[in-house]
Structure 1
Amino acid sequence: MENEHYNFIKVWILAIISLCYCYYISSKLPKGIFKLFSLTPIFIFFLYLPLTISSVHLVGITAFFLSWLANFKLLLFCFDQPPLSPPPSNLFHFISLASLPIKLKQKTPSQNKSKPPQISILFAIKVIILALLYHCYSYKQNLHKNVVLAMYGAHVYIELELNLALAAIPARAMFGLEIEPQFNEPYLTTSLQDFWGRRWNLMVTSILRPTVYYTMRRISTRLVGSRWTSLPAIITVFVVSGLMHELMYYYVTRVAPTWEMTWFFILHGVAVAVEVLVKKVVPVKMRLHPVVSGAWAIGFHVVTAVWLFLPLLMRNGVDEKAIGEYCKLMDLLKGFLGTCLRSMQSFLFLGLTFWAGSVLVGHVSEWPAEHVALSTSSLGV
C-alpha cells in the first residue's frame, strides 16, 4: 500500500510538470496543428500514467482526471477553446483547471444564500450512507444478488460524487475559485435527457459537449438537416463516453474489454435520441408528466445497469478489491486516531503534572518562614 501511495504521488508530480510544459511552451504556439503536435506526447503520457498504479481508488481517480478530463481539456486547448483558453495568468490556476474535475462559474447576486448549508447536510448524509454500505458488505454473502447490485449502484453514485466534490476543495480553498457542482441530485431526474444532460457527472457533460457534440452537429447538419442534427450528435457522444468508460474500466481491471460498458452507453444514447425525437414530434400537452417520465428514466437505468454495468464490478473482483482497500484505509485511520489519542493523553498527563507541580511550588513559596522551618525540623533536617 505504501508503494502505491508513492507511485500515486510520483504520477501526479509528473503530471504537474507536464502541465507546466503546456502552460509555458505549448500556450505560446498558434492554435491548430502546431499546438496539437506539441501536445501529442502529453496525450500519450497521460494515457500511460494510470498504468503505473494498481489501487482501484487511486487508479480510478488518476485515469479519470488525467487520461479523460485533462486530455479532453488539452484537446480543446489546441484550438483555443475553454476552459484552458485563454490561459489563466496564474500557473496554479491553469494546473487546477486542467487536472481537476472543476469548471469555473460566475457568482451572481441572486445566488441563493441558504443553499450551501443544504449541500453540506446532503454531503454528510451521503458520507454516512457510504459508510453504512461498506459496513453492510460484511454480510453480503447473506443477501440476494440483486440487493448487492443495488448497493453497488448506490455506492458508485455516492463515491463518485464525493470524490469529485473533495477534489474540487483545494481549488476552492487555495484560490477562491467558484466551482460549478459536478452532480445535481440525479435521483430527482424527470427524463433520460435531464439525467445525462443536467444532473449526472456534469463535468463530463461539459467536456463532451464542445469536443464531440458540437463537432458532430456541424458535420451532421449537411447530412440530415438542422432539424434532426442533434440525434446523430447525441448517439456519437454516448459512443465516445462508452469507449472512455471502457478505458477507465481497463485501467482498473487490466483485462481485455468485453464491450458491455460501451453497449450500456450506446443503449442509453439511442434511448435519449428517441426521447428527443418524441419531444420534437409530440405536442407539449400530450407528453408524459415529469413524475412519470422520471420514474421511467430511473427504471430504465436500473434495468440496464443490472444487465450490463454492475455485473462487471463483480466479474473481475473489482468490488472485493475496493472493499479491501477501504478496510485497509479504515485500519490505517483507526491506528492513526489511536496514536493521536494516546499522544493527547500523554500530553494531558504531562500538562496536569506540570500544573500540579507549579501550584505546589507556588504554595510552598508562599508559606511563612516559621512554617518552612517547622516542616524541615519535622523531617529531621
Structure 2
Amino acid sequence: MASEVAGLAVVSAAASVALVYARLATSRLAPGTPRLAALLPVLLLLPVLPFAFSSIHLRTVSAFFLVWLCGFKLLLLAAGHDGPLHPALPLVRFVACAALPIKVRDENDKKQQSRISRSSLPSGFLLSYAAKAALFSALVSVRCYRARMPAYAVPVFDGAHVYLMLELFLASAAALARALLGAELEPQFDRPYLASSLRDFWGRRWNLMVPGVLRPCVYRPVRARFGAAAGVLAAFLVSGAMHEVMFYYITLEAGTGEVTAFFALHGACAVAERWMARQGGMWRPPRPVATALTLAFVTGTGSWLFFAPVIRSRLDEAIIAECEGMLAFLERAGRNLAAMAHLI
C-alpha cells in the first residue's frame, strides 16, 4: 500500500506538470501542427505513467484517465475543436478537466439543473452512492460462490461488479474535481440498467465521458465524409481498439482481438437498430421488454467476448483479491478514525 501511495503521488505530480506545460504551450500556438508538435512530449509521457503501479486497479484506472480520455482531449485541443479543454481555461480547471473523467456543465444547463442539484446532492446523491458501495462490498464478499452460480447468473454478476466498480471510481474522481473547482459536472452514468436499446445504453447512459470524446474525435469527422452509419461503426471500432489498450494494462499481454470484436458486434447492431427505428411501420417491443432484451444482449455478449481474456488468464481472482484488500484497508481506516473521534 505504501508503494502504491508513493506511486500515486509521483504519477499525479508528473501528470500535473505535463498538463501545466500543455496549457502554457498551447496558449501561445495556433491549432494544427504547431500545437500537436508541442503536445507530443505529453502524449508520449502519459502512456508510461500507469506502469508506476503494481496494482491492477490503479494501473488500469490511471490508464483510462490519462491514456484514453486525456489523450483524446489533448488531440482535440491540438486540432482546435471545441471540447473540454481550451487554452484560455484557468490553470487548475485545465489540469483537472484534462486528467480526470469529468466535464463541467454548460452555464445554460447549470441554470436549469441548479435547483435539482442542490436538493439531490446532500441526500439522494450520497444515499445512492452509499447503497452502491454497500452492494459492491457484498458482491466482492460472495465472489467465492461465483463458480457455483447458474450459467445465466454469471454474466449478470460480472456485469454488476464492473458497473459498480467503475461508477464508484469515477464518482470518487468527480468528487475530487467538484471540491477543487466548485463547479457542477456532467453525469458520468445515467442508470444504464434502464437502457431500452444499444444506442441508448452506449450513447446516453454508460460511461458518458467516453462518448463525450468519441463523438468529436471519431463520429462527427467520419459522419461528415461517409454518413452516420460509418460514423457509428468507426466510433465503436476505435472504442474497441482503446479497450484492447486498457486490457493490455490489466493483463500486461498482447490483446486477442475479442474485445474489439465485442464492440464491432455492438456497433453493427447499433446501426441495425438505427435503421429499424427509421422504418415507421415496424413493431417495437414495450419498453420493459426492450430493456430486458438490451441488458441480456449486453451481458451475454460481454460474457462471451469482453470478460473472456481476463477470466482465461485468471486475473479476475487477482482483481477480487485487490478489492478485498482495499475494503479491509478502508474498514481498518474507518475503525481508527472512529477510535480517534471517541478519544477526542
Aligned residues: 338
TM-score (norm 1): 0.83
The answer as to 2:270 corresponding to 1:267 is: no
For residues 240 and 205 of structure 1, what CA distance do their matches in structure 2 show?
A: 11
| Aligned twin of 1:322 | 319
Local SS of the residue matching 1:25: helix
TM-score (norm 2): 0.91
- Bigger CA drift: 177-186 or 42-51? 42-51
| Aligned twin of 1:312 | 309
| Aligned twin of 2:218 | 212
* Match for residue 284 of structure 2 among 264, 283, 287: 287
| CA deviation vs aligned residue, 1:303-339 (integer Å, no higher than 9, x gap) | 2011111233322232211221122223333443444
For residues 53 and 185 of structure 1, what CA distance do their matches in structure 2 show?
A: 31
For residues 63 and 72 of structure 2, what CA distance do their matches in structure 1 show?
A: 12
| Aligned twin of 2:229 | 231
For residues 150 and 272 of structure 2, what CA distance do their matches in structure 1 show?
A: 34
Question: 1:103: how far off?
Answer: 0.8
The answer as to 2:180 corresponding to 1:174 is: yes
For residues 8 and 317 of structure 1, what CA distance do their matches in structure 2 show?
A: 26
Task: Assess if the C-alpha contact under 8 Å between 2:137 and 2:327 holds in 1.
Answer: no
Question: 1:150: how far off?
Answer: 2.5
For residues 333 and 128 of structure 1, what CA distance do their matches in structure 2 show?
A: 13
Q: Which amino acid aligns with 2:161?
A: H
Question: 1:258: how far off?
Answer: 0.6
Question: 1:4: how far off?
Answer: 2.4
Distance 1:85 1:153, change over 3 A: closer
Task: Assess if the C-alpha contact under 8 Å between 2:240 and 2:262 holds in 1.
Answer: yes
For residues 162 and 332 of structure 1, what CA distance do their matches in structure 2 show?
A: 16
Give unpaired runs (5+ residues) of structure 1. 221-228, 349-381
Q: Percent identity at matched positions?
A: 36
Question: 1:248: how far off?
Answer: 0.3
Question: 1:87: how far off?
Answer: 2.6
Task: Assess if the C-alpha contact under 8 Å between 2:73 and 2:85 holds in 1.
Answer: no
Aligned Cα root-mean-square deviation (Å): 2.0
Give unpaired runs (5+ residues) of structure 2. none
The answer as to 2:307 corresponding to 1:301 is: no
| Aligned twin of 2:61 | 61
Distance 1:145 1:290, change over 3 A: closer
The answer as to 2:201 corresponding to 1:195 is: yes
| Aligned twin of 2:97 | 97
| Aligned twin of 1:248 | 246
Which structure's CA Rg is the greater one? 1
| Aligned twin of 2:74 | 74
For residues 157 and 295 of structure 2, what CA distance do their matches in structure 1 show?
A: 15
For residues 343 and 201 of structure 1, what CA distance do their matches in structure 2 show?
A: 38
